[in-house]
């Protein structure tokens, strides 16, 4: 049994039967909470709710998969710390992958069979500061999904030409900047079920998913002080 957690935008949790390196996964249950800035309040309860709905005990979990972002600092930290804690307590493997990879997998899953021909997908997530996190992917005729442009952060105008050249364009950034980034489907946030399926696909190709370091792509909004200030104002 696998637990999937993504907090790159909304909070999403999924439980699946199977192993990443084994047979095809069966997604048993997915639960999400779309409220922003409430990750620390809802995640643990959502995990318990999803496990109950799937009729799975925590002790039955054999692995945890977590989205590494990119996304807001606080939200990502909540998801990553929770995933690390659960994996450590249970003594099970922990895997991490880009949340952009998961959303690309989600978009392509609803795009028809691979035999219809290659497809490209652009993913744009809200990065705040009037910017988007983005990456591009290609699915070939065999169904294999490959990232063709690494995750980056730019203004919507700077990213628009590359992203709109794709066959599909999804993500929360499309809803914020529809004139520059017109969506082809209403996929805004990562579904943790697709996070698990994308991880299984990458593991089957021999990808290393051992890193769970957050993909921030830029410095935090709160800057470190450059000089120590006197408490007396001198």
The string of pLDDT tens digits covering residues 151-160 is 999 999 999 9
Identify the three-state secondary structure at position 118: coil
pLDDT band, very low/low/confident/very high, at 227 (cuts 50, 70, 90) = very low
Cα–Cα distances (Å) from 53 to 23, 28, 70, 111, in that order, read: 23, 8, 29, 28
Q: pLDDT tens digit string along 24-63?
A: 899 999 999 987 666 777 899 999 999 999 999 999 999 9
Domains of the chain: 2-98+190-204 (3.30.420.40), 100-176 (3.30.420.40)
Range list of β-strands (E), 18-62? 26-33
Nearest Cα to Cα of residue 149 among 166, 133, 159, 135: 135
Q: With contact defined as beta carbons under 8 Å apart, do 33 and 46 qualify?
A: yes
Closest residue by Cα to residue 95 from 31, 20, 147: 20
Distance CA 171, CA 127 (A): 11
pLDDT at position 73 is 85
Check if the beta carbon of residue 171 is closer than 8 Å to that of residue 131: no
**Residues pairing with 132 in the sheet:** 126, 154
Confidence class for position 75, pLDDT limits 50, 70, 90: confident
- Given this model, what pLDDT does residue 143 score? 85
pLDDT at position 200, please?
Answer: 95
CA pair distance 14, 5, nearest whole angstrom = 7
Contact in structure between 187 and 107 (CB atoms under 8 Å): yes
Q: pTM of the full predicted structure?
A: 0.89
């Amino acid at each position: 049994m696998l637990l999937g957690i993504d907090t790159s935008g909304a909070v999403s949790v999924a439980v699946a039967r199977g192993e990443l390196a084994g047979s095809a996964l069966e997604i048993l249950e997915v639960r999400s909470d779309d409220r922003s800035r409430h990750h620390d309040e809802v995640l643990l309860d959502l995990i318990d709710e999803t496990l109950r709905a799937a009729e799975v005990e925590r002790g039955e979990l054999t692995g945890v998969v977590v989205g590494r972002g990119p996304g807001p600092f606080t939200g990502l930290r909540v998801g990553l710390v929770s995933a690390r804690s659960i994996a450590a307590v249970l003594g099970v493997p922990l895997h991490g992958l880009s949340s952009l990879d998961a959303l690309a997998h989600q978009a392509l899953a609803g795009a028809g069979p691979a035999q219809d021909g290659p497809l490209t997908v652009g993913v744009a997530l809200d990065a705040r500061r009037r910017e988007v996190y983005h990456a591009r992917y290609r699915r070939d005729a065999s169904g294999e999904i490959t990232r063709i442009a690494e995750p980056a952060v730019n203004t919507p105008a700077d990213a628009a030409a590359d992203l709109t050249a794709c066959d599909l364009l999804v993500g929360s950034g499309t809803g914020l900047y529809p004139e520059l980034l017109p969506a082809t489907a209403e996929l805004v946030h990562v579904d943790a079920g697709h996070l698990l399926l994308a991880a299984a696909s990458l593991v089957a190709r021999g990808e290393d998913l051992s890193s769970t370091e957050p993909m921030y792509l830029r410095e935090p909004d709160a800057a470190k002080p450059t000089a120590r200030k006197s408490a007396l104002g001198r």
